[in-house]
Structure 1
Amino acid sequence: MLDATTKLSLDTISNPDRTKPEELVPSRYALRIGEIDVLVISDGVLPLPTEMLGHNASPAVRAAWLDDMFLPRDACDWPLNAVLVRSGGRTILIDAGLGFDPDLQLPRAGQLVKRLEAAGIDLASVTDVVLTHMHMDHIGGLLVDGMKERLRPDLRIHVAAAEVKFWESPDFSHTSMPPGFPDALRSAAKRFAKEYHSHLRTFDEKHEVAPGVVVYRTGGHTPGHSVVRMASGEGLTFAGDAVFAVGFDQPDWHNGFEHDPEEAARVRVRLLREMAETGEMLMATHLPFPSVGRVAIDGDAFRWVPVFWDY
């Protein structure tokens, strides 16, 4: 027998026009790392060709992995996560999502601003932005019309100096992207550098943004790609694009967006091995939302161990 709460829930789903719920799936997840507050926000999903998960793998081997994961062989949705962190009186946004690019027809991404507002986050309260790198799905949210005017005039944007330098004349010779993406990436990075130049706070290898919140340059995915470690009693690392879902089983597969695929694979293995040894938590941009878990060693590869959601 259904209780009143269950009946209400089912009634809402079966009669969506009656209550017009904004969303039927969770899009934010909060956790606490010692004295540091962390909020994972989904910016939506990117439908991309599965070949980009491992373009150096044979089609048969790649298809077998996709079958084992119950994923379609031609294209699948890549999650897109960003993170909001509060520490030491600073409110830090790690990556800014895709924003809006009508030319690429990605309507299910670019949800970050709406979902920050739904979480009660005032954009003017953000004191810092940390960019893991300058691909458009990490900076695009800052380029939405009217966004800059809603941010603080003293906003600090932290990004590796090598990343800014790279996008002055980017090299796509080792990437394997669908048509249109290189031009869109180049255009977004150029526009971002122009509009936010005065807000940039570049670093070489390592920089503490707030107490316990440190960004480290790893390179690989892009020359200035960085990860962010949050530590207060325990540790949690946001790995940006260093790790994709396939990277645990197949850490040597090359992702289509990697500008230096071989170095990216070395970075990935080194990071996953370190996380497995320490037992600290890991998050990443393109792992299934909320992307919070740990890493275990599984023979010559790794195993993703999602955390149990804490309600």
Structure 2
Amino acid sequence: MTTHLDHPAQEAGAHQKGNGQQQATTLAGGSGFEELVPSRYAVRVGEIDVLVISDGVLPLPTSTMSTNADPAARAAWFKDMFLGPDAFDWALNVLVIRSGEQIILVDAGLGGQFPGFPRAGQFPKRLQAAGIDLGAVTDVVITHMHMDHVGGLLVDEVKNKLRPDVRIHVSATEVAFWESPDFTHTVMPEPVPDVLRATAKQFINDYRSNVRTFDDEYQVAPGVVAKVTGGHTPGHCVVYVNSGGERLTFAGDALFPVAFEHPDWHNGFEHDPEESERVRVRLMQEAAASGELFVATHLPFPSVGRVAIDGNAFRWVAAFWDF
């Protein structure tokens, strides 16, 4: 693979070890492609390399972030965050993990699945800019089958470069759910459910022979485990990276920026809002107790930080960019 594994970081790609010590990067480098802001950030978890890559942003209504919140409380929160008042940019993050000889992609961004979101679907070119060859990816973990997590696998520039025997890991519950999805408890913008259905169907049709389902928990590679949480979708999973006494959790869509101060606020994309609330509280409690690094799909890039207890709620502590 062409990952520039022997080159030190020259920009936002230096290692952030769990203990905060600066290290030379082994999973990022230049390839001649230039953006004003290099949207990748490298982390070392023990002996495992993790690269967070921004797939861009997509604008969504502020109400989607807090469907059960009092409108005045919602407006006040977004004002305090210098966001809104009616819409905000929702970040999209994907991971690339190297464990031993395996290169693992966790989620794949939006691709071209939804018109009118030109700032999303950036991960293929940013992966290339990081010097990572899609043909070297051995495994893909899909946290859930929403369009902004599988859509990137459906664009030709990705499909044509992935190896024919790439293993795509999805929970069995998630695959079964999308055979006849139930949107009863969601509150999504009108066109979205139909696009979600079509994208999930296309994903399974295109990659049926590559999909490897698991039930509750599956070790994708040494130190890399996918575990079903449910909530956001019935088969939603998170990914734990453990090595050398250090841990990073990729929480997928289990939580969103508002969750730290208002974990009880529901998101319009949640298929089981009450269970989603229980899942994110449990994950944040675990992260606060362990002090582990924490990353999620929709936290602002680079989405690397820690969770602290703050009274009856939580507090996000962004990691210092160590480069």
Instruction: Compute the TM-score of the two structures, normalised by the length of structure 1.
Output: 0.92
Give a deviation string over 1:255-288, Cα, whole Å, max 9, x none: 0100000100000001101110111110000001
Q: Are residues 1:268 and 2:280 paired?
A: yes
Aligned to 1:74: 86
Aligned to 1:119: 130
Q: Are residues 1:57 and 2:69 paired?
A: yes
Q: Are residues 1:28 and 2:28 paired?
A: no
Q: 2: CA distance between counterparts of 1:235 and 1:146?
A: 33
Aligned to 2:267: 255
Q: Are residues 1:217 and 2:253 paired?
A: no
1:206 to 217, 223, 231: 217
Q: 1: CA distance between counterparts of 2:33 and 2:249?
A: 33
Instruction: Number of aligned residue pairs: give it.
Output: 291
Q: 1: CA distance between counterparts of 2:125 and 2:208?
A: 25
CA shift for structure 1 position 144: 0.4
CA contact (8 A) 1:104 1:180 kept: no
Q: Which amino acid aligns with 1:306?
A: A
Q: 1: CA distance between counterparts of 2:190 and 2:89?
A: 18
Q: Are residues 1:148 and 2:152 paired?
A: no
Give a deviation string over 1:158-187, Cα, whole Å, max 9, x none: 010000000000001100111110000000
Q: Which amino acid aligns with 1:309?
A: W
Q: 2: CA distance between counterparts of 1:265 and 1:166?
A: 20
Aligned to 2:305: 293
Aligned to 2:18: none
Q: Judging changes above 3 Å, is the alpha-carbon distance between structure 1 residues 137 and 56 closer, same or farther for their aligned structure 2 residues? A: same
Q: Which amino acid aligns with 1:183?
A: D
Q: Are residues 1:128 and 2:120 paired?
A: no
Aligned identity (percent) is 68
Q: Judging changes above 3 Å, is the alpha-carbon distance between structure 1 residues 21 and 230 closer, same or farther for their aligned structure 2 residues? A: closer
> Alpha carbon RMSD of aligned pairs, Å?
1.1
Q: Are residues 1:310 and 2:318 paired?
A: no
Q: 2: CA distance between counterparts of 1:22 and 1:88?
A: 29
Q: Which amino acid aligns with 1:255?
A: N
Q: 2: CA distance between counterparts of 1:122 and 1:29?
A: 17
Q: Matched residue of 1:43: which SS? A: strand
CA contact (8 A) 1:275 1:294 kept: yes
Q: 2: CA distance between counterparts of 1:53 and 1:123?
A: 33
Give a deviation string over 1:103-141, Cα, whole Å, max 9, x none: 531100000100000111111000000000000000001
CA shift for structure 1 position 49: 0.2
Q: 1: CA distance between counterparts of 2:153 and 2:98?
A: 19
Give a deviation string over 1:48-69, Cα, whole Å, max 9, x none: 0000010100110100111111
Q: Greater share of helix residues, 1 or 2?
A: 1
Q: 2: CA distance between counterparts of 1:255 and 1:231?
A: 29
CA shift for structure 1 position 243: 1.2
CA shift for structure 1 position 145: 2.2
Q: 2: CA distance between counterparts of 1:290 and 1:217?
A: 24
Q: Which amino acid aligns with 2:235?
A: G
1:193 to 192, 204, 224: 204
Q: Matched residue of 2:203: which SS? A: helix
In structure 1, stretches of 5+ residues that fail to align are: 1-19
Query: Following superposition of structure 1 onto structure 2, how do residues 170-181 of structure 1 map, counting pairs within 5 Å?
Result: 170-181=181-192
CA contact (8 A) 1:79 1:287 kept: yes
Q: 2: CA distance between counterparts of 1:74 and 1:179?
A: 16
Q: Judging changes above 3 Å, is the alpha-carbon distance between structure 1 residues 21 and 156 closer, same or farther for their aligned structure 2 residues? A: closer
Q: 2: CA distance between counterparts of 1:28 and 1:109?
A: 15
Q: 2: CA distance between counterparts of 1:89 and 1:22?
A: 28
2:119 to 97, 108, 113: 108
1:167 to 165, 171, 178: 178
Find runs of 4+ consecutive structure 1 residues off by over 6 angstroms: none
Larger Rg: 1
Q: Matched residue of 1:264: which SS? A: helix
CA shift for structure 1 position 32: 0.5
CA contact (8 A) 2:143 2:170 kept: yes
Aligned to 2:110: 98
Q: Which amino acid aligns with 1:26?
A: P
In structure 2, stretches of 5+ residues that fail to align are: 1-31
Aligned to 1:7: none
Aligned to 1:13: none
Q: Which amino acid aligns with 1:294?
A: R
CA shift for structure 1 position 21: 8.1
Instruction: Compute the TM-score of the two structures, normalised by the length of structure 2.
Output: 0.89
Q: 2: CA distance between counterparts of 1:284 and 1:184?
A: 23
Aligned to 1:17: none
